[in-house]
Amino acid sequence: MDEQARIMQTLGGVNLAGHSVQGGMALPPPHGHDGTDGDGRKQDIGDILHQIMTITDQSLDEAQAKKHGLNCHRMKPALFSVLCEIKEKTGLSIRGAQEEDPPDPQLMRLDNMLLAEGVAGPEKGGGSAAAAAAAAASGSPTDNSIEHSDYRAKLSQIRQIYHTELEKYEQACNEFTTHVMNLLREQSRTRPISPKEIERMVSIIHRKFSSIQMQLKQSTCEAVMILRSRFLDARRKRRNFSKQATEILNEYFYSHLSNPYPSEEAKEELAKKCSITVSQVSNWFGNKRIRYKKNIGKFQEEANLYAAKTAVNAAHAVAAAVQNSQTNSPTTPNSGSSGSFNLPNSGDMYMSMPNPNGDSYQGPQVGANVQSQVDTLRHVISQTAGYNDALGGSSMYSPHGMNANGGWQDATTPSSVISPTEGPGSVHSDTSN
DNA sequence: ATTCATGATTACTC
DNA sequence: GAGTAATCATGAAT
């Protein structure tokens, strides 16, 4: 309404568009009038403008009728051209038309991020760099794949929502643009709207919609960031080791109870076998030592279980050794490291690996170790026949290795039960401290 | 919902 | 830097 008022005021008598006007407007004489009745023309224009001004106060039917009347009015082309001139002079139609803003850096950032995360652009493997990095840093490979697929599933959900919304926005934008263009084209019959102006309007609409799109992109980015942070947190989350891994660790622990400090090499080997990291092995042993020490009684059962297991393995080993000694020539007793003892899942398997500290289970030690295994077997058999509780002093796993301060003393006098791989009096070489 | 088990973290010591 | 002890945080069992 302001604009109308302004135009009206302008038309009322102000010098228009540089025309020299006296006492009003100098409109071209419509329909061949010679311009003699100047007052009548003024009256006409005033009427028309009044009609325009009051058109909004009328009912739709009335307005339609008025509109039709105006469209057919003899003064319409003249008024139209004047309005065009005014618009041109006031720069309304041009202003901002050349406002071709450069690409928004933030939008570019968002686009790049969405592209990098695999949300925008062609569908790829899923989590892309994030998942790969997380997979590389995480511990168990099986857990990785679980988390990885989780991450990928969530990411693809985000991707789907993003694309659906984007499509919706684009559709809405197109619909709205078409609608506005039609409206403007329609209106251009009654008011001066240049194609340039329509173009400008379209660009305004597009800008508005792109700002909405930016919000969508921002939200999507946030969602991806949250997902990523959750995913990264998930890596920190505690996840129980597999049963097999725990068994391997426990077997090592109880078979080295006198000195449960695996060497770096042993840790690496354990880590490999358990599909966990070396630091997880360290954590596990740290926790295990302290918890075992704190509550030996509680671990008795577990200790017995693994002792029995070890004993069975020892029995197998002894049997194999006996068989071996029978079949082999006495001149070549158990000389090969590969053919020495088959002790799957026993402490022996750790000892058979290369150990710079001489804790290996090969060569001349073999005989002693067989003896130790036999001892273990005997001991376990005798113990299982009548097991007493730890305080009774006849428990299989008394903290022999621990000193009065609660720490593990040097394993100079390890129980024969403790490790089938240790000969009596053998000193653990994985004493890292 | 509670309790227990357990992997991880942190502060500290040696 | 490795280990200890305390603690946190979460999964699983009840």
Nucleic chain B contacts, protein chain A, residues 217-236, CB cut-off 7 A: 236
A291 touches strand B (CB under 7 A): yes
If DSSP codes are grouped into helix, strand and coil, which group holds residue A81?
A: helix
How far is it, in rounded angstroms, from Cα A149 to Cα A373? 46
Distance CA A45, CA A283 (A): 93
| Euclidean distance between CA atoms A153 and A131, whole angstroms | 12
Question: Is 60 exceeded by the pLDDT of residue A71?
Answer: yes
Per the CB < 8 A criterion, the answer to whether A184 and A197 are in contact is: yes
- Residue A416 has a CB neighbour count (10 Å cut-off) of 20
A240 touches strand B (CB under 7 A): yes
Any idea of the CA torsion for A15, A20, A26, A27, to the nearest 10 degrees? Answer: -90
Distances (CA, A) of A92 to A191, A208, A225: 13, 20, 44
Across A103-112, A129-138, A255-264, A277-286, least confident range: A129-138
Report which DSSP code applies to A399.
Answer: -
State the Rg of chain A over Cα.
45
Q: From the alpha carbon of A281, which nucleotide's C1' atom is closest?
A: B7
The pLDDT mean for chain A works out to 64
Dist. CA A267–CA A355, nearest whole Å? 12
Give yes or no for a contact between A147 and A231, defined as CB atoms under 8 angstroms apart: yes
The model's pTM is: 0.42
Could you report the per-residue pLDDT of A368-377, keeping only the tens digit for each?
A: 344 444 444 4
- Tell me the C-alpha distance between A210 and A213, whole Å: 5
| Mean pLDDT of the region A241-269 | 92
